[in-house]
Structure 1
Amino acid sequence: MVQLDVVQACNKALVNKQTVTAVFVGGTSGIGENAVRSLASTHGTSGRGLRVYIVGRNEKAANTIIADCNKTCPPGEFKFVRANDLSSLRDVDRVCNEIVNAEEARAVGKPACIDLLVLTQAYFAFGKELEHQETSEGLEMSLCLLYYSRMRFVHQLLPLLSASPISGRVVSVFGPGRDTKLILDDLSLSKPQNFNFTTLGSHTAYMTTFFFEKMAANNLGKLSMSHYFPRLVITPAFKGRGVPGWFKVIFRVLGPLFRLISVSAKESGERVVFHTSPRFPARSSKGVAKSSPQENVSIASSSDGILGGGAYRTNWNGDVTPLTKQYEHINKDEVREMVWEHTMKVFEDITAAGYFSG
Structure 2
Amino acid sequence: MVSYKEVQDSNALINDATAPRVAVFVGGTSGIGKFTVRALVATGASVRIYLVGRKISEEPMNAFIQELYVINPKAEVIWTEGEVSLLAETKRVCEVIKSKESRVDFLFLTAGYAPFGTRRETAEGLEITQSLEYYSRMLFILHLLPLLEEAEAPKVVSVLAGGMERATVNLDDLDLKKPGNFGGVKAQMQYTIMNTMTLEKLANENPNVTFIHSWPGWVNTGNIRRSADPNSITAWCFWLILEPLIFLFALSDEESGQRHLFQSTSAAFGGRGVPWKGKLGVNSLEKQADGLFLVNYKCDCTPNAKVMPILREKAQGKIWDHSQEVLRPYL
TM-score (norm 1): 0.83
Match of 2:301 among 310, 320, 336: 320
Counterpart contact for 1:31–1:265, Cα < 8 Å: yes
Q: Within 5 A, what are the aligned runs for 1:139-154?
A: 139-154=126-141
| Residues 131 and 14 of structure 1, relative CA distance in 2, 3 Å threshold | same
Match of 2:108 among 114, 118, 121: 118
Per-residue deviation, 1:322: 4.0
Q: The residue matched to 1:79 in structure 2 has which SS?
A: strand
Distance 2:35 2:206 in 1: 29
Per-residue deviation, 1:195: 1.2
Distance 1:314 1:68 in 2: 30
Q: What's 1:351 paired with?
A: 330
Counterpart contact for 1:37–1:65, Cα < 8 Å: no
| Residues 297 and 115 of structure 1, relative CA distance in 2, 3 Å threshold | farther
Per-residue deviation, 1:303: 1.1
Q: What's 1:274 paired with?
A: 262
Residue 338 in structure 1 maps to residue 318 in structure 2: yes
C-alpha deviations, 1:298-337, integer Å up to 9, x for none?
Answer: 2211112222232011100110134274446x36245322
| Residues 219 and 76 of structure 1, relative CA distance in 2, 3 Å threshold | same
Residue 261 in structure 1 maps to residue 265 in structure 2: no
Per-residue deviation, 1:245: 2.0
Distance 1:241 1:216 in 2: 31
Unaligned runs of 5+ in 2: none
Q: Within 5 A, what are the aligned runs for 1:29-108?
A: 29-42=30-43, 44=44, 47=45, 49-57=46-54, 58-83=57-82, 85-103=83-101
Q: What's 1:26 paired with?
A: 27
Q: Within 5 A, what are the aligned runs for 1:281-320?
A: 281=270, 294-320=275-301
Counterpart contact for 1:178–1:201, Cα < 8 Å: no
Per-residue deviation, 1:251: 5.8
Per-residue deviation, 1:238: 4.0
Q: What's 1:4 paired with?
A: 4
Q: CA RMSD in A?
A: 2.2
TM-score (norm 2): 0.89
C-alpha deviations, 1:204-263, integer Å up to 9, x for none?
Answer: 22111111111111112x2111111111111233443636023223467x4xx6434210
Counterpart contact for 2:91–2:330, Cα < 8 Å: no
Counterpart contact for 2:10–2:276, Cα < 8 Å: no
Distance 1:324 1:191 in 2: 31
Match of 2:237 among 243, 246, 259: 246
Q: The residue matched to 1:147 in structure 2 has which SS?
A: helix
Counterpart contact for 1:179–1:324, Cα < 8 Å: no
Q: What's 1:287 paired with?
A: none
| Matching residue's letter, 1:277 | S
My pick for the range that moved more, 190-199 or 271-280, is: 190-199
Per-residue deviation, 1:99: 1.4
| Residues 331 and 227 of structure 1, relative CA distance in 2, 3 Å threshold | closer
Counterpart contact for 1:139–1:190, Cα < 8 Å: no
Per-residue deviation, 1:266: 0.7
| Residues 299 and 194 of structure 1, relative CA distance in 2, 3 Å threshold | same
| Residues 26 and 315 of structure 1, relative CA distance in 2, 3 Å threshold | same
C-alpha deviations, 1:134-159, integer Å up to 9, x for none?
Answer: 22222222111111111111111111
**Identity rate of aligned residues, in percent?**
34
Per-residue deviation, 1:64: 1.7
Counterpart contact for 1:35–1:270, Cα < 8 Å: yes
Q: How many residues align?
A: 321
Unaligned runs of 5+ in 1: 104-111, 282-289, 353-358
Distance 1:292 1:175 in 2: 23
